[in-house]
Amino acid sequence: MRHKTSLTLILTISCLFLSAFPSLAGEWLQTEDDQWQYIQDDGEPAVGWLELDGRRYYLDENGYRKSEYWQKDKGAWYYLDEDGVLVTDEWVDNYYVGEDGKLERKR
């Protein structure tokens, strides 16, 4: 009986402790017009560059994910693939993007 009471107390305290910390991860939301936004914990869409699980995305000033798109940022060009992921270290049509995703040269 004592073991059961201790286990119940530990589980109760664990649940209370875990519920005191909100999740730090936002979520992707598909809009009615088939665009994607990343909604942060505060309920607002993310804007600008976003890194998730080792992938980088660019979200415009309204929070919409750009895809199949050349994005200019600080004088450099970057390409985002069909899933909106920054392309690195490969050719995109006749253009090569480096390891950092910046456009480096044309064929």
DSSP class per residue in the chain: -HHHHHHHHHHHHHHHHHHTS-----EEEE-TTS-EEEE-TTSPBP-EEEEETTEEEEE-TTSBBP-SEEEEETTEEEEE-TTSBBP-SEEETTEEE-TTSBEEEE-
What integer pLDDT is reported at residue 107 of this predicted model? Answer: 84
Stated pTM of the model: 0.73
What integer pLDDT is reported at residue 50 of this predicted model? Answer: 98
pLDDT in tens, 30-46: 999 999 999 999 999 99
User: Was domain 27-106 assigned CATH 2.10.270.10?
Assistant: yes
Average pLDDT, the chain: 86
Sign of the alpha-carbon dihedral angle for 107, 91, 36, 24: negative
Encoding tokens for residue 29?
């939301």
Q: What is the distance between the terminal CA atoms of the chain, rounded to a whole angstrom?
A: 76
pLDDT in tens, 75-106: 999 999 999 999 999 999 999 999 999 999 88
